[in-house]
């Protein structure tokens, strides 16, 4: 059986794409942030729109729009010994519906997977819950699937909520 994260481009299947999304969620839930960063393409963007059905990440305000540099800074902060806002550390759980594979283009090495999920984050006595839809735009790069963009749409994105410490 071919490994989910390192299959040859011609071998990428619907199940491997679904397994990729589950593996990414598990890495986040287990706090394996350095390993999670290896899933990203160098040009990868993590985008969390501020408005429902927002189309423009550049000219409209977003809750989050982070490139590789900003993602690495976030991970360094989460892993840091002097990050006092993370003592004790926040924990999260992604409860995923079965992902929908919207695009498989093995010729171009491009793939799109859409996942509806419930995201729970907790720290001390505080816990909050988000209903989100994550869209992974994946590419075949360096012999593996890589995240070119992860768009996370929060169902109630127009509500006021506190800091999201981790990554839905």
Can you give the pLDDT at residue 5?
63
What pLDDT score does 1 carry?
43
pLDDT 10s digits, 95-126 = 999 999 999 999 999 999 999 999 999 988 88
Q: What is the DSSP string of 24-49?
A: HHHHHHTT-HHHHHTTEEEEEEEEEE
| Mean pLDDT along residues 153-166 | 86
Rounded CA gap, 87 and 1, in Å? 42
Q: How many CB atoms lie within 10 A of CB 2?
A: 11
pLDDT at 153: 96
Dihedral (Cα; 14, 118, 94, 63), 10-degree rounding: 100
Evaluated on CA atoms 55, 56, 62, 68, the torsion sign reads positive
Q: Is 131 in contact with 158 (CB distance < 8 Å)?
A: no
List the domains of the chain with CATH numbers. 9-154 (3.10.450.50)
- Report the alpha-carbon distance of residue 149 to residue 40 in Å, rounded: 8
Tell me what percent of the residues of the chain surpass a pLDDT of 90: 69
Per-residue pLDDT at 86 exceeds 90: no
- Residue 65 to residues 7, 52, 60: CA-CA distances in angstroms? 29, 15, 11
């Amino acid at each position: 059986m071919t490994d989910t994260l390192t299959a040859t481009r011609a071998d990428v299947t619907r199940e491997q794409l679904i397994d990729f999304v589950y593996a990414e969620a598990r890495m986040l839930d287990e706090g394996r942030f350095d390993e999670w960063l290896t899933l990203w393409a160098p040009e990868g963007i993590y985008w969390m729109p501020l408005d429902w059905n927002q189309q423009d990440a550049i000219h409209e305000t977003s809750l989050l729009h982070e490139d590789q540099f900003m993602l690495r800074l976030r991970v360094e902060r989460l892993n840091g010994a002097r990050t006092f806002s993370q003592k004790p550390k926040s924990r999260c759980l992604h409860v995923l519906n079965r992902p929908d594979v919207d695009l498989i283009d093995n010729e171009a090495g491009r793939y799109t997977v859409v996942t509806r999920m419930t995201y729970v984050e907790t720290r001390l006595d505080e816990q909050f819950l988000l209903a989100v839809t994550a869209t992974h735009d994946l590419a075949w790069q360096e012999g593996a699937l890589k995240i070119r963009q992860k768009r996370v749409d929060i169902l109630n994105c127009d509500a006021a909520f506190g800091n999201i410490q981790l990554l839905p």
